[in-house]
Amino acid sequence: KQSWMTRLKAGLSKTSSNLTTLFVGARIDDALYEELESALLMADAGVDATQFLLDGLKRKVKNEKLTDAAQVKTALRTLLIEMLTPLQKPLVLGRHKPLIMMIAGVNGAGKTTTIGKLAKHLQAHHQSVLLAAGDTFRAAAREQLTVWGQRNNVTVIAQESGDPAAVAFDAVHSAQARGTDVVMVDTAGRLPTQLHLMEELKKIKRVIGKASDGAPHEVLLVIDGNTGQNALAQVKAFDEALGLTGLVVTKLDGTAKGGVLAAIARTRPVPVYFIGVGEQIEDLQPFDASAFVDAILG
Ligand code: GDP
């Protein structure tokens, strides 16, 4: 089995391969900057982050009197790491008991898969976990979570029908009664444009706060790394509605371009707690800015 780094590299290099080869034997001239600009845009970094990186790079080339394209690549690596390091924050465990996390995202982003992976991760860190099946719209989602919980000895609080906020409320009380370490409240997938569903998310958050003062302690958004600039729009919208504390960026082993993290760092620097690099339970890794930049630049 390939290491997660290999899969991340393989994924990101599919589209950012010109970032890895761009500098080989190149002259430092306008043509190089233009190629770099299109490579960054192609990688989904967005106009603002691309411009910021180009300006920074040109300044470095001038101030440090760089004459060799390999040095320019090293300078770009440094700039990218500086840009992404503020996103590198770990999910801190043990601050509250139970630690209550609410998980949101659009359909298909990888929310259910991520909750399963996260539960495993938490168990590996000696945390007991309880899941709230807050996706009351899709019976299949509830089933998926329940089956997953049974297989892994994780209690899942689910209701046949009804109000996701009530499921969350019950789950929090149940976790308090059992002395559980972490509660993860799943929510139904929704688009930020579905305003009534965004209101419902706010309600779930409010009700969790009624069940436990100061909760939820973490509000995570799961985004599909393949959706590029659209992922950025999701981060903005969900952050405005809920106040996000962290992100999980999934599917970076696929055809994701990775640059969206640069855009997030520039416009909505919400910490990236984890990245998803595959469909298996162990394919969730804490975000590491240097490793990520190495995977992009090769
Ligand atoms: P949800 O609708 O947000 O709950 O999405 P799911 O968890 O059902 O995931 C949608 C699809 O994406 C499934 O086929 C998952 O196996 C897949 N998926 C989720 N995370 C990753 C990842 O990090 N890498 C890859 N390659 N696939 C993933």
* pLDDT class of 257 with cuts at 50, 70, 90: confident
**Mean per-residue pLDDT over the chain, rounded:** 93
Q: Is the pLDDT of residue 17 over 70?
A: no
ipTM reported for the complex surpasses 0.90: yes
Q: Which helix (H) or strand (E) holds 286?
A: strand 284-286
**Which ligand 1 atom is nearest residue 109's CA?**
3
**Cβ-based neighbour number of residue 177 at 10 Å:** 8
Please state the atom number of ligand 1 nearest to the C-alpha of residue 222: 3
pTM of the shown model = 0.95
CA distance readout (Å), 107 to 99, 111, 157, 221, 297: 25, 8, 21, 12, 31
Q: Among the atoms of ligand 1, which is closest to the Cα of residue 283?
A: 23
* Ligand 1 mutation target, pool 279, 280, 282, 284, most atoms within 8 A of CB: 279
Asked if residue 251 belongs to a known ligand binding site, the reply is yes
Q: Is the pLDDT of residue 14 over 80?
A: no
pLDDT of residue 40: 93
Which of 109, 173, 169, 99 is closest to 141 using CA atoms? 109
Task: Check: CB of residue 140 under 8 Å from CB of residue 108.
Answer: no
Residue ranges lining ligand 1, Cβ < 6 Å: 105, 107-113, 189, 250-251, 253-254, 276-279, 283
pLDDT at 3: 81
Residue 220 has pLDDT above 80, yes or no: yes
Residue 16: what pLDDT? 56
Q: What is the pLDDT of residues 96-130, one digit of tens each?
A: 999 999 999 999 999 999 999 999 999 999 999 99
106 labelled ligand-binding: yes
